[in-house]
Structure formats: structure tokens, C-alpha cells
Structure 1
Amino acid sequence: MSLFYNMFTITLMISAPIIIAALGGLFSERSGVVNIALDGIMLVGAFVTAAVVVVLDPSGANSKTAILIGLAAGTLAGMVFSLLHAYASIDLNADQTVSGTALNLLAAGITVYLCQIFFNQQRTPAFIRGITRIDVPVLKDIPVLGEMFFKQVHPTFYLTIVLVFVTWYVVFKTPFGLRMRSCGEFPQASASMGINVRRMRYFGVLVSGALAGLAGGVMVLTQDVQFTVVTVHGFGFIAIAALIFGKWNPFGVLGAGMFFGFSQTLGFYAKDIPFLATLPTEFFSMFPYVLTIIALVIFAGKSVGPKASGEIYDTGKR
């Protein structure tokens, strides 16, 4: 039973950045812009977060303050970086897939380049400690559930749950969310009702950038001890898969993110599970990504996203 509890705790840790980034993608796509640059934005957010933590807290004496400032900086960096995608796809009418791909490539190069400039190496120095696990008083004593959700869990998971509910409320329960969703379904009709489609789409992309930057920061501070170019290792693309798998709904994204997080965790603990221990370790290294492809093949055709997502907004179209 202890093996299950340990696996579940790691699953929550790994799922958090996937879910946060996927929620960012939800805002972008609900406004009508496909953002496949989530992986690159996560990379930028991870670099900025790690760099700020290293610079502000070389001794580890006041790590909580450094971590909070680092996460805020990573969030802001993700938002600023996503401006490139917003400008290219909204103002220049560029193909959104090409723009997102370009940002992914740019992120890998620019983060390594900045590491060379600031730290004279292709990575940041290791920080002494990142986000530490916590026990929630009283709740940790609840049978079974206490062990799973409230004992030795990273607080970033609770932040993720809050973001899921906030996203659900903003997108589905507010007039602003209704206007944003209308821009992702039929922007011409939205414009005829006086809605500024350009502004709504900028909002969606910038929020997606902020959340993806935060996801990158969360990932580097919970799953690593320094930033490298492989810190994110494709989690942004898994977040996109979770968004599709979750049918562009915050609670669906939560379940899909947990599913993909567990698939990653399974690789870590395979050697401790008798009927899996005989399989090659390489199998479990590729397992999450193979599972992502399989999930997309099975469910992508059944998942219907916003109708105008990915389409260039043409004011003359009827």
C-alpha cells in the first residue's frame, strides 16, 4: 500500500505543470488561437524561474521568498514570450501552427544562449532546494485520502486545483467568458455584437503564456535542481494532448493531466512492480509519449474543439 501512496504523491507532482499549461491552452483556444508553443513557453518560464531563484538565493537562507519571486518572474516571462505568438497570429495573420513551432525552436535556443551569457554554461547553477512538500494539519489524518492528497504533497498541486476552479468559473460562468468563447466559435458574429475579437484573442494568448510560464517554473522547482534545455522534455505537448483529451473543459483537463502524470510515474516505479520489472527501462521512458499518441488517435476525432480555433480572423467572412 505504501508503494501506491508514493506513486500517487509523485503523480500529483508531475500532473501539476501539465494541468496548469493545459489550462493556459484552454484560454487560448477558447478565444480562437491554437497555441502549440506551450512547450517553448514552459521552457522560458522554467529558465527565468530557476535563474531568479539562483540569483536571489545563492545560500538558500530565504528560499521561500526567492521561490515566490521566481515563479512570478517565470509567469511574467511566459506572458511576454507569448506576445510574439499573439502578434504573429492575430495582427500579422500568420499560420498559428507555424508561429507556435517557431516559438518552440526559439525558446530552446534563447534559453541556452542566455545560460551561456549569465552563467558561462548551458544550464543554471543548481539551487539548494526548490518547492518542498508539506503536510496539511488535520486533513492528513483522514484515512486513505489523507495519505493520498494531504501528506507530503507539493503545495503546487493545491494551486493547480484552485486554477481549475477559477478557469471553470471565468470561462463558463461569467459574461466575459461567454464573449471569449464566442470569439472561438464564430468571431464574425461576436464582432457584429460589438465584441472586440482582437482584444479577446490577445487576452487568451497572454493568459496561456502566463500559465505556461508558471507551469515551467513549477516543473523546474519540483522535479529538478537546476534548469537545462531538457527540463521540460515535451511536457508542453503532453499538456496540449491533455487539453484535447479533456475536451477543452477544465475538469476534463484535470482528469487527463492526472492520467498522463500517472503514466510518467509508472516508469519510475516499474522496477518495484513484479510483472513490470522484467521489461526494459527504455520502454517506460517512452511510455508517457506513446500513451499521448494513442490517446490522441483514439479520442482526438471524438473531441470537438472551438470551431474557429486555428482560423485566421477575417472581418469580411460571413
Structure 2
Amino acid sequence: MRRKIPPTQALICFESSARHESFTKAAEELSLTQSAVCRQIANLEEFLDVQLFRRTRRGVKLTEAGQTYSRRVASRLDAVERDTLSVMGNQGTATLELALVPTFGTQWLLPRLGQFIQANPQVTVNFTNRTRPFLFADTEFDASIYFGDGDWSGTEAHFLMKEHPVPVCSPALLGDRAELAPADIANMPLLQQSTRPYAWRQWFASQEMRVEHDLNGTRLELFSMLAQAAMLGMGVALIPPFLIRNELEARRLVIANPHTFESDKAYYLVIPERKAESATLQAFRDWITTEADTYRRSVNGAAEKP
């Protein structure tokens, strides 16, 4: 069955005209005559049987339907352009589209990724931030690294590592004290992470404490946001040390109390079952699980030293 899609040239003319709200500026941008742009818009409106612009003596204005359609068309054309540039720029190579939690990607994966690229020069790896699960069928992602329980329908999950968060704060908040007692921390503003809403409750519970306001406090989505808020003295944050190594070494953040707990969730590499046989994904899977295993062993070895 033939698709109900307008001609591409008409969509391009419409997107430019909508962005400028001017047929004249669209014509200049597209190196067309104004009359040619007007014809394309008129043909598109006839095709849709919808008025997209209101014509006035002062020019043109998008109708409500035109505003809605322009946003959708612009996003689709942007996607087509990205895909086109990707194909043009990756001839003879493989591309891995990876969705991942951003702070983990920046602080742990990116410093190691050069090793994978050096060993697999034919593979290009692209990162996109995603903090929560999604439907792979609705995206172009080949795999995802996320923090959860590993239960993601229609996928195979490969364990990478657990989190062991500790309370951190600015040096000014710590003052002259070597560390803060849990009771002291309970009386300070608790910075919350929206993707780990019960982290503070778990931390206090691991010390057999019950704090009534452990779910209260400024709520932020990313560890990088929590770290920034803590550095600004807004409160105490629970963050795994490996995600803030630079901040700790520079003493922009300090560990307020060394006690930690093992989260019941973990970082996983998640691959949709329909792509599990991909040689590129298998190579990436083997590499990152080996890297994660090496990292876990190094952390455990350091913890066992006196």
C-alpha cells in the first residue's frame, strides 16, 4: 500500500517557512523563488486538507494546526538528516548506538572506551543519555547501560557492577571534624536523587537507624547534579566514590562518613534479543564485561588491604 506522505520538497519548504514564518526568507534559504515556495505550501495544504498558514497583509502566521505539524515535521527531518550524515560518514564501518546513564558514561566508561576503539577501529560508538528503561522497538538504540534490577523485557542483561555510595559534602560543611556521625548527617539537608528515591533510607537502615525525613530534600536526577549541589554546600549527598574521583582528589568534595551499603540494584549492559547475534554488540559485550570484572577485582583487592 502506498504511504500517505507528502512530497519531500513540500515538507522542506514548509519546515523552513514555519521556522522563519516567512515565505520570502524560506525562499532565500532554499535558493528558490518565493512563488515556488508558495506553490509547495499550497500543494501541501491541499494534500493535507488543512490550512497551515494564515495569510495577512503583514505576511504569514502559522495556524494552530501548522504549529503542531511544524514541530513534528522538523523533528522527522532532523532525524533523516542525522541518519543520512551517519551513512555518509560511516561507510565501511559499524556504528553502535548506546543509551546510557550519563555520569557512569562520563566517569567510568569514557576513560576506558579508547581501548575498545583501538582494538575495534571499524566501530563507531555513539552515546545518548537515558536514565530510565524504554522500549527498544521505539528507538534506534542497539544497547543500553542502565542502573536497575536487570529485568528488562525482551532483552538479555549482562551484570557490570554494584554501587557502594557514601555520604559526601563540601569541606566547609565538614569543618574541622574528621567525619560526621550518622546522627549529625540526619540533621543536615539530605540531597536526594530521583532515580534512587530510597537511597538515604537504605543507608540509615544499614546502621539500624530510622529517620523520619529521610525522603525529604532537594531532588535531582543525575549524580553530576548531586555532586554540584553538595560542592555548593546545599547538603549531604549519597554518591559512589568512583563517580566523583576528581572532586574527591581535589577536595572539592569530602567523604562525610565512610559507611556504605550495597545497593540491591546494579549497572547492566542490556541488549535487545533481536540484536543479540550482532558481531559488533558481541565484541562490545565481551570487552565491557571484562573491563567491569577487572574493575570489581581491583576495588575488592584495595578494600582488603590493611
Q: Which has the larger radius of gyration?
A: 2
State if a TM-score over 0.5 links the two structures.
Answer: no
TM-score of the pair, normalised by structure 2: 0.22
TM-score of the pair, normalised by structure 1: 0.21
Higher relative contact order by CA 8 Å / sep ≥ 6: 1 or 2?
A: 1
Which is helix-richer, 1 or 2?
A: 1
